[in-house]
Amino acid sequence: MEGLAAYDSTSSSETSSNCSSTDDDLPLENREGLKRSPPCEIEPPPCKKPRDAPKVLLPSPLDLLDGHNDIASLEEPYHNSPEENPALHDNRVRKFPHVVGNYATTVFIPVTIPSEFMPTFDWILQELEDNLPDVHPMKASKLVDGSTLRQKSKFSGDGQESNSTGPESEKNLTLHMSISRVVTIRYPDIEMFIGTLRRCLKEVKIDKRFQLEFGPLNCFVNDDSTRSFAALTLKSGGLEVCQLVDGVNKAFVPYALPQFYEEPNPHVSVAWVLGDKSEMMIAVLDRINKSSRFLDHPKTTVQVGQVHCRVGQETYNVW
């Protein structure tokens, strides 16, 4: 019991505190019978009231990856969509609202217009300009290496220089043939989606390089009737293009993306106008198709060897 009492006394002396001194500070003979004073009650300093600082909403990691990583962007809510101003985009309208982390995506075949067809091609564009108000030529496709091939012509009116150098940049124009709808892909899914697309297109049983031959011009109107397109259809090569469309549709399934048109009509758009101007455009295209200049142009074939997928500002070679 004496041992327990001693342990209790030692334990008590270790866990208690005294403002002026501790048991260890006193001589041994003065420790017995020491009346301990209660522990000091030190009042904590008054809490300082925090200053009213402006609240800053930090952007999400996806927003930072999307390029909004400057200081100014931290002062505004990151989820606000950019101001829509169709006037900055030839009055074109978005197919879907802007969402941070979602990227517009489309799959297409680059189609380079052969130099021998360029005189006829420029004549077609001039006829469209003379007969359709506010017609716009299609812009050249951006290739995987970042280059574009753009023909200078009277119709373009902008004197655009090609990013490529050499004589070919003065002769050729690279447009595109869509083999998917325009869809959106979330940033975390891009790498896996591109891999899926490559695997599905690799399974398509056609020659890696096949030829297209241009046919008559036709008019196409987009789903929401906001634009009408003048396009070159195909005399040959359409079957192979439709097989590539099937491969793309297969790749879209795991991501619940909309399929291409049930009955694809492969074509290369050359110009467009705002709204549903199909009646007026068809009349102009019929005259062009029946003209001797168009009928007598030499047979023109284009060799296809690649399929590209454009996600946001990046272009991937997927076949």
Q: Given pLDDT bands bounded at 50, 70 and 90, which one contains residue 297?
A: confident
Is the pLDDT reported for residue 8 higher than 50? no
Cα distances from 103 to residues 23, 100, 183, 189, in angstroms, run 73, 8, 8, 10
Give residue 293's pLDDT. Answer: 94
- Asked whether residue 79 carries a pLDDT value surpassing 60, the answer given is no
Residue 181, pLDDT score: 95
pLDDT at residue number 222: 92
Summarize the confidence of residues 10-34 as an average pLDDT: 45
Q: If pLDDT is split at 50, 70 and 90, which confidence band does 145 have?
A: low
pLDDT tier for residue 75 given thresholds of 50, 70 and 90: very low
Residue 86 pLDDT exceeds 80: no
pLDDT band at 43 (very low <50, low <70, confident <90, very high): low
Instruction: Go through 147-181 and write b for each residue having 16 or more CB atoms within 10 A of its CB, e for each that does not.
Output: ebbbbbbebbeeeeebebeeeebeebbbbbbbbbb
Mean pLDDT computed over 40-67:
47
Query: What share of the chain in percent tops pLDDT 90?
Result: 54
In a 13 Å sphere around the CA of 126, the CA atoms on its Cβ side amount to 8
Task: Supply the angle between the helices 278-290 and 118-131 in degrees, to the nearest 10.
Answer: 140
Q: At 140, which amino acid appears? A: A
Q: Does residue 151 have a pLDDT over 80?
A: no
What is the per-residue pLDDT across 202-249, written as a single tens digit (0 to 9) for each?
999 999 889 999 999 999 999 899 999 999 999 999 999 999 999 999
Global pTM value? 0.66
Calculate the alpha carbon distances from 247 to 197, 260, 306, 315 in Å. 8, 11, 14, 18
Instruction: Say yes or no to pLDDT of 122 above 70.
Output: yes
Q: What confidence score (pLDDT) does residue 69 get?
A: 36
Banded pLDDT at 261 (limits 50, 70, 90) = very high
- The 10s digit of each residue's pLDDT in 165-198 is 333 444 578 999 999 999 999 999 999 999 999 9
3-state secondary structure of 243: helix
Q: What's the CA gap between 137 and 53, in Å, rounded?
A: 53
